[in-house]
Amino acid sequence: MIDISKLKTFVTVAELGSFSKASEILYITQPAVTQQIKALERTIGAKLFQRQGGRMVLTEEGKRIYEIAKLLLNSYEGLMEEIARIKKDLKDILFLGLSATPSEYIIPRIIAEFHKEFPSSKIKVFTGNSHDVEEGLIAGVLNIGIIEREPSDKFTDVPFLEDEIVFFTFPEHPIASRGEIEPEHLYEIDLVMREAHSGTRKLVRNKLEELGIIFDKLNIKIESTSSRNIIQIVKSGYGCSFLSKGLLNGELKAGNLVPVKIKGFDIKRKFHIIYPKNSHVSFLASNFIKFLLEKTKEVQTAV
């Protein structure tokens, strides 16, 4: 007998092309992924994957099983959702992907409030950069994602919650008291930045290049996938950075960090709720989107 969990693991590996990436998104260890695939291969009596150019690709037998497995998983998820509606007891799981800034900003509180509305449900949160979230959605292992950049045209996009990116440093830094600097002055400053695939970093790069800055010549001394980590590094007395104002508000008000204006630099953006086009959005995911839009509208109205 083939169980649903092994099929989900198989489909995830097939679409991500990697056992390690599948393990991260499915919240299981890489050895567990390997064991499940081997068990499936024993049951079927054929190899399902072969390594090709650093990726795991489907064999001919794997391709045949993949098409049927996708249909079965979609039917199974629809069946579980309909049973939950009939029983009025939504014991569904929401697989939510968050890029770094939303995950450290307002979304965690909203997740907690949402679960009070649907206490029988489970919510599994995957955190990565915007690129990672998009990969998880395409693979079908995430229901919806919240990212900090405009998505590709593969996704349905629901923009929400306006955000601003600011340049900041610690109070004792030589530029802290200057109020405004020329863009060219950035070449003389040690910077702490988000990683290359970060939505925040891409927006900053594009804007600075519009202002004539050669981004690759900047003194980026430290990179981190964690915005909170960057805040602590700068707060401790090192360098300058660019992050969401929403993440910085408490530290700015306390005087632990100082915003510095760069002439011509102005980035306002919206976060984006995304899911693959033409995909089925589960009842739980649909309700989460509605709840999120209502709550963030309340926040912006209050501001």
Q: What are the sequence ranges of the domains in the chain?
A: 1-86, 163-269
Q: What is the reported pLDDT for 148?
A: 84
Share of the chain above pLDDT 90, in %: 42
CATH class label, 163-269: alpha beta
Q: Which residues pair with 258 in a beta bridge?
A: 169
Task: Rank 41-55, 133-147, 178-192 by mean pLDDT and report only the highest.
Answer: 178-192
For the segment 78-89, what is each residue's pLDDT rounded down to a tens digit? 666 666 555 544
Q: What is the reported pLDDT for 150?
A: 85
For the segment 102-157, what is each residue's pLDDT rounded down to a tens digit? 888 788 889 999 988 888 888 999 988 888 899 889 888 899 999 988 888 889 99
Report the alpha-carbon distance of residue 107 to residue 111 in Å, rounded: 6
Q: What is the 3-state secondary structure (H, E, C) of 90-142?
A: CCCEEEEEEEHHHHCCCHHHHHHHHHHHCCCCEEEEEEECHHHHHHHHHCCCC
Residue 281: name the closest of 161, 120, 156 by CA: 156
What CATH number does the domain located at 1-86 have? Answer: 1.10.10.10
Residue 21: name the closest of 138, 106, 182 by CA: 138
pTM: 0.63
